[in-house]
Structure 1
């Protein structure tokens, strides 16, 4: 756990010189890459289309991406069985000395995500792999991202004026991806994070309608939240081309919001960074200035 001021953090940067970020062009990955480079850390942004070629499905790309790397931020592929254990083994064999894994809130709670996730998950497989790797590790467990409303799966519906979800009147302490990335950067570059599991949330619980109201206050873009039954939501996803299994997984993934299991505010951001997580009002202003809902 670290609560140092910024000057102390800068002075305490470890000797790890090169960091690999898998998923380096994604929501959290690209923010982590930017944060590392702002600190002057040699960083490889790895993805299928990125500057460092990396494909979870093609193990021949792993070795070159890991060559000469001291630390890795693992943004895993959410498929089962997970490729993360094999990647961790390759990383350690390549000389990597620190692993920071992006996992998910609730992976250690039975039934958290509904019946589709029973029998283990890619996240639990990844966590077990880094814990037993023999090198320094940190695990990040964020909840639902605020960025789903500004650059993710909910954006088109928000722009269209109606967001229909099977989340009922439930709430979540939605977390800003900028905070997730800031914690990842700290864990990759500072001492004091080894063996830590950071549960990451925002500073207050909000229902989906509350989030849409916050967006409307700042932008004037007003979208209605329409609660729908799980069965109707699944059927709609299948009609859009998803398989029945994919539709069930996506529907069950929203269970923690529907049941308000995501509502409790956690202390991970404060423990890792020594400050509170960013509030939704600040997120909306920044995303609006970047043109998210135009």
Structure 2
């Protein structure tokens, strides 16, 4: 009963793999550099990755909401189900129209599916997109005025493992948030310190920030406009889904998991 983990060195994939291994579950953790190699954009890598797996935890890079992700997810899910890997848990984004198209493509595959719609990760400030800039004392973000219920990647991993191991969650959509609403500025100061210089910038300027950080131009533009889209208040509420699955409250920013081994 091997479980496939895509994005296995990512913020949630690594944590899910470690938790399953701690439970003596057989895990196949794949990336573009693993053996077998897995690349969402190279369909020739899919069959070896799913061969012999009964379930999978799926994360898509750089974001499930970007154009074309739905076609890729739909094709992969159909191939996985045909190969016997029918239990699929997909990490998705809250309020993203493109991500919901990808969800629909997966659910149409015949898989035993669960969807985890996640708020922005707290670990984006410590391990991900914002980490280097924050460590240097500043944070740039698309101009917006709403707060976000940032969620800890450790909670996402705990939920993912729970739903992978319990068929009660087949056919369920779970919205995963932290327990409080925070602005990006509040989160940046809570994690990086009060001296962090927060810089809200127009979307076009934020594209330049992302490209300077090394993202391809198309991905940078897609992410910047995606941030602009979802930071309009549609996600400015917390849910109880983490607690309903785990039987405990979601972690607050004060309990941030800063270690990949947690």
RMSD over aligned Cα atoms: 2.4
Identify the residue that residue 269 of structure 1 maps to in structure 2. Answer: 242
Partner of residue 57 from structure 2, selected from 73, 79, 82: 73
- Please state whether the residue corresponding to 1:175 is helix, strand or coil: coil
Identify the residue that residue 64 of structure 1 maps to in structure 2. Answer: 48
Q: Cα deviations across residues 50-80 of structure 1 (Å, max 9, x unaligned)?
A: 2432122222221111111111111124453
* Alpha-carbon separation, structure 1, partners of 2:29 and 2:56: 11
Compare 78-87 and 173-182 and name the one that shifted more: 78-87
- The answer as to whether partners of 2:77 and 2:111 remain within 8 angstroms in 1 is no
Identify the residue that residue 100 of structure 2 maps to in structure 1. Answer: 124
* Cα distance change, pair 52–209 in 1 and its aligned pair in 2 (3 A): same
Partner of residue 215 from structure 1, selected from 185, 188, 191: 191
Identify the residue that residue 163 of structure 2 maps to in structure 1. Answer: 187
* Alpha-carbon separation, structure 2, partners of 1:254 and 1:207: 13
* Cα distance change, pair 241–212 in 1 and its aligned pair in 2 (3 A): closer
* Alpha-carbon separation, structure 1, partners of 2:35 and 2:217: 35
* Alpha-carbon separation, structure 1, partners of 2:118 and 2:146: 18
* Cα distance change, pair 168–88 in 1 and its aligned pair in 2 (3 A): closer
Q: Cα deviations across residues 217-273 of structure 1 (Å, max 9, x unaligned)?
A: xxx573121222334334555677767654432322222664333320012212222
Identify the residue that residue 175 of structure 1 maps to in structure 2. Answer: 151
* Alpha-carbon separation, structure 2, partners of 1:44 and 1:221: 41
Is 1:157 paired with 2:130?
no
Q: TM-score, length-normalised on structure 2?
A: 0.87
Identify the residue that residue 142 of structure 2 maps to in structure 1. Answer: 166
- The answer as to whether partners of 1:176 and 1:278 remain within 8 angstroms in 2 is yes
Larger Rg: 1
Identify the residue that residue 43 of structure 1 maps to in structure 2. Answer: 27
- The answer as to whether partners of 1:98 and 1:136 remain within 8 angstroms in 2 is yes
* Alpha-carbon separation, structure 2, partners of 1:199 and 1:100: 13
Q: Cα deviations across residues 121-177 of structure 1 (Å, max 9, x unaligned)?
A: 2x2343113222223110010011111100111111111111122234321011111
Identify the residue that residue 113 of structure 1 maps to in structure 2. Answer: none
CA shift for structure 1 position 28:
1.0
Unaligned runs of 5+ in 1: 1-16, 109-120
- The answer as to whether partners of 2:57 and 2:160 remain within 8 angstroms in 1 is yes
Partner of residue 178 from structure 2, selected from 183, 199, 202: 202
Identify the residue that residue 3 of structure 2 maps to in structure 1. Answer: 19
* Cα distance change, pair 51–274 in 1 and its aligned pair in 2 (3 A): farther
* Alpha-carbon separation, structure 1, partners of 2:80 and 2:18: 22
Is 1:279 paired with 2:255?
no
Identify the residue that residue 91 of structure 1 maps to in structure 2. Answer: 80
Q: How many residues align?
A: 255
Q: TM-score, length-normalised on structure 1?
A: 0.78
Unaligned runs of 5+ in 2: none
